A and B are shown apart, each in its own frame.
Chain A
């Protein structure tokens, strides 16, 4: 317990799809779209899904503060306990959920790095609804790689990436990985 799995699979990078500047531009555009869609910053709350959605949410909030001059609260959501695959995958380390104040009547923008099957977003809906009753929930993702298993779509997308199911999309962020990048590759056993 607590240690890395015995045989760690090796991630082999096939190509780098987004460089630091691409990530920055995508996030700035998403930030503008969010404010435009919301017709201002009133009642807006940006909530990142842990792990990598959390720093993205903070960056979007900072970017909105930058060009709009308004403070938009941002927070982080750990959806582990709401996932539908807990019984299959086993328990994972939990991180803190830090959602600002009251979500009742607010417009919550969920932020995640990669949109794939949609199951994480489904879990996030349940987690948000247990914290309050927002007026609306919207979804912003840095990368949409397709292969949805649930009828979920993103309102704001940084980059649409058509992928094969065997491929793995990894988002690296300065705050966690030391660099901003989106990589595509495969796991070798």
Chain B
């Protein structure tokens, strides 16, 4: 297994399958009375978060705790050393000096986890960096799709919305393309980056055109804080053209999956009734995230075999 998880680029389809299979074995731990395994006893995991996060941080924290690792949470907010002007590098070295085994990092700058991995001996897991990648989100999304469709090869997945600013979209496209899925990016032309043509996905601008053919409709969060950039006229117009409402859902295949990385803007990219429909697996995504992160922590921190090979 790789030492760091920085980008979906580094994972082959065989490696993705191993991560998802391991997650599947770990998923049942959630359903038993004692939800804890002794596997990572004595290891220390640090959540280093320079950006706001609820589900990713809690998910990683719980995943580490379920495997009996010790967890430190460091949020770069007004109460931390970062507020006193400590640099990213000094913070990293401080954590290193305390002997952490893994650093889970979220940062507003693309490439920050990569930089961090060159400074420290600990394993680095990217929990979202700028507009670059969010690999664990992509892995839990692949897991969730695989739960419903045995084979990801040939699966038609539409990723709808603000692809331009979305690290979730970038990681998902890479993961899906590696697994042989057929990805269509849909959104306002201003929110589809020009280089997206090189990602191996198709590009479309009209959601209504693909409704009948897709197996998965993956909705991205409209980043309301970017509205001032005037990339689309109004939230209402966005909802009318690219929002998934019950009228559009009714035109899709009966077995279609509706997915969203959260947090949702109900009434914008997703209708309130759609998010609660039986086709929505948004809460499954959250539950699966825990299993996938346990899988990664186990595979990356479970120890090193002598010949450098992980599996017998």
Interfacial residues, chain A to chain B (CB-CB below 8 A): 1-7, 78, 81-82, 86-97, 126, 130-132
B164 at the interface (CB under 8 A from A): no
Contact with A along B92-130 (1 / 0, CB 8 A): 000000000000000000000000000000000000000
A–B Cβ pairs within 8 angstroms, 24 of them: A1-B1, A1-B2, A1-B18, A1-B309, A2-B15, A2-B310, A2-B311, A4-B309, A5-B307, A5-B309, A81-B298, A82-B37, A86-B302, A90-B302, A90-B309, A92-B311, A92-B312, A93-B18, A93-B311, A94-B22, A96-B28, A130-B32, A130-B34, A132-B33
Contact A81 B37 (CB under 8 A): yes
Give the chain A neighbours of B228 by CB distance below 8 A: none
Give the chain B neighbours of A96 by CB distance below 8 A: 24-25, 28
Contact A91 B310 (CB under 8 A): yes
Give the chain A neighbours of B299 by CB distance below 8 A: 91
B203 at the interface (CB under 8 A from A): no
Q: Which chain A residue has the least Cβ–Cβ distance from B11?
A: A1
Give the contact-size bracket for chain B.
20 to 34
Q: Which chain A residue has the least Cβ–Cβ distance from B40?
A: A86
Q: Which of A2, A5, A6, A90 has the most CB of B within 10 A?
A: A90
* Min CB–CB distance A147 → chain B (angstroms): 21
Q: Which of B21-61 contact A (CB under 8 A)?
A: 21-22, 24-26, 28, 32-34, 36-39
Judged by DSSP, the binding face of B is loop
Q: Residue B22 contacts which of A6, A7, A93, A97 (CB distance < 8 angstroms)?
A: A93
**In the bound complex, CA of A89 to CA of B311 (Å):** 9
Q: Residue B303 contacts which of A4, A91, A97 (CB distance < 8 angstroms)?
A: A91
* Min CB–CB distance A86 → chain B (angstroms): 5
**In the bound complex, CA of A94 to CA of B310 (Å):** 12
Contact B18 A90 (CB under 8 A): no
Contact A95 B39 (CB under 8 A): no
Give the chain B neighbours of A7 by CB distance below 8 A: 307
Give the chain A neighbours of B67 by CB distance below 8 A: 81
* Min CB–CB distance A93 → chain B (angstroms): 6
Known: A2-B311, A5-B309. A88 touches B18 (CB 8 A): no
Contact B309 A6 (CB under 8 A): yes
Contact B25 A95 (CB under 8 A): yes
**In the bound complex, CA of A4 to CA of B14 (Å):** 13
Contact A131 B302 (CB under 8 A): no
Known: A5-B312, A92-B311, A95-B25. A81 touches B39 (CB 8 A): yes
**In the bound complex, CA of A175 to CA of B21 (Å):** 22
**In the bound complex, CA of A91 to CA of B15 (Å):** 13
Contact A2 B18 (CB under 8 A): yes
Ranked nearest first, the 4 interchain pairs of A and B with the lowest CB-CB distance are A91-B302, A90-B305, A94-B25, A87-B303
Give the chain A neighbours of B25 by CB distance below 8 A: 78, 94-97
**In the bound complex, CA of A126 to CA of B38 (Å):** 9
Contact B39 A1 (CB under 8 A): no
* Min CB–CB distance A131 → chain B (angstroms): 6
Q: Which chain B residue has the least Cβ–Cβ distance from A98?
A: B28
Contact B303 A86 (CB under 8 A): yes
* Min CB–CB distance B286 → chain A (angstroms): 22
Contact A90 B310 (CB under 8 A): yes
Give the chain A neighbours of B18 by CB distance below 8 A: 1-2, 93
**In the bound complex, CA of A131 to CA of B37 (Å):** 11
